[in-house]
A and B are shown apart, each in its own frame.
Chain A
Amino acid sequence: MTDVASETPVKLPWLDEPRFHCFGCSPRNKVGLALKMIRLEDGRLASDIVFTEDYASYPGVVHGGIVSVLVDELMGDLIALDHGLLAFSVTLRTKFLEPLLVGLPYRAVASIVGVGDGILRTEADVLAADDRVVLMSSATYQPIRSEQATEHMGLDPADHARIGHYFDHQMG
């Protein structure tokens, strides 16, 4: 695992939004993952997690869809933190190299590998405690435009006043 001294906890600035119940990162979502983020010294974003039986598929094995949430959330949050914009996942491609097991510690690590043509390209790996890579994922994200935010999220003018900056990116 990475040297703890070179890691910085990250407070996600949108967690206090009253309508925010993200399955991946909101502590208010009682069935969600409530992921906590860590900034690594090299700029990547990481999250440590031990999955419980609540997220199992086969007995003792973490559901692949839930692991996909982990990496999708991490990559999306990294974009929001580093580029100040919210984005929808367009493509999420994941190679499940080994099954993740309930009760064991894992670390997911994400980086942004490209920006252009209206999309952002990202990568994320999930590592076991011995740094063995058990999952590799790559994804593309499209920034959410202001009108999309209004249509899909039902934002009112007060919401826009608070979080409109996430959609004023002139991308996509």
Chain B
Amino acid sequence: MTTTDGSPAALDATAVADRLREMAAAELKIDAADIPGDAVLKQLPGADSVRLMRIVARAERDFDLEFDDEDIFKVRTLDELVGLVLGQGAASR
């Protein structure tokens, strides 16, 4: 993710949260509005470990990031996934 001058773009927390919520909703086939930030992801309808890993893998691609496996398995909520993206995004700039 870069700006027109080639420098990395800052990630906006709200936009990241919205994008991740869309990804989760699409994977779990539920309404994005039913995924509050503090929702425990594995307790959402249709969630299982494979689907959650798909969401994480799509997030890595979408934001052009690579998460450490240890960090991935610590994530419990959408807000924590947002934090992982923002933290990794800041570290890569």
- Chain A 146-170 per-residue mask, 1 if CB under 8 angstroms from chain B, else 0: 0000000000000000000000000
- When the two chains form their complex, are residues A95 and B50 in contact, meaning their CB atoms are under 8 A apart? no
Q: Is B74 engaged at the interface, CB distance under 8 Å to the other chain?
A: no
- Contact status A136-B50, CB under 8 Å: no
B26-77 residues with Cβ-Cβ distance < 8 A to A are 50, 53-54, 56-58, 60-61, 66
Please, how many angstroms separate the alpha-carbon atoms of A19 and B45 in the complex? 54
Interchain CB contact under 8 A, A97 and B61: no
Bound-state Cα–Cα, A93 to B61, Å? 11
Q: Name the A residues within 8 Å of B58 (CB-CB).
A: 136
Enumerate chain B residues within 8 angstroms of A98, measured Cβ to Cβ. 50
Taking A123-B61, A136-B61, A138-B61 as contacts, is the C-beta distance between A95 and B53 under 8 angstroms?
yes
How far does the alpha carbon of A97 sit from the alpha carbon of B58 in the complex, in Å? 12
By a CB distance below 8 angstroms, the chain B residues around A123 are: 61
Q: Are A136 and B54 in contact, CB atoms less than 8 angstroms apart? A: yes
Cβ-based interface call for A80 (8 A): no
Most B Cβ at <10 Å: residue of A93, A97, A98, A133: A97
Distance in Å: Cβ of B77 to nearest Cβ of chain A: 21
Q: Looking across the interface, which residue of chain B has its beta carbon closest to that of A114?
A: B64
Q: Tell me which residues across on chain A come within 8 A of B54, comparing CB atoms.
A: 97, 133, 136
Q: Which A residue's beta carbon lies closest to that of B69? A: A95
A contact residues around B61 at 8 Å (CB): 123, 136, 138
- Residue-wise interface mask of A (30-46) relative to B, using a CB-CB cutoff of 8 A (1 in contact, 0 not): 00000000000000000
Residues of chain A within 8 A (CB-CB) of B66 are: 93
Find the B residue at minimum CB distance from A94: B57
Task: Give A111 Cβ to nearest chain B Cβ, in Å.
Answer: 11
Closest 9 CB pairs of A and B: A136-B57, A95-B57, A97-B50, A97-B53, A98-B50, A97-B54, A133-B54, A95-B53, A123-B61
Interface residues, chain A, with chain B CB atoms under 8 Å away: 93, 95, 97-98, 123, 133, 136, 138
Interface residues of B (CB under 8 A from A): 50, 53-54, 56-58, 60-61, 66
Sample 15 A-B pairs with CB under 8 A, ordered by A number: A93-B66, A95-B53, A95-B56, A95-B57, A97-B50, A97-B53, A97-B54, A97-B57, A98-B50, A123-B61, A133-B54, A136-B54, A136-B61, A138-B60, A138-B61
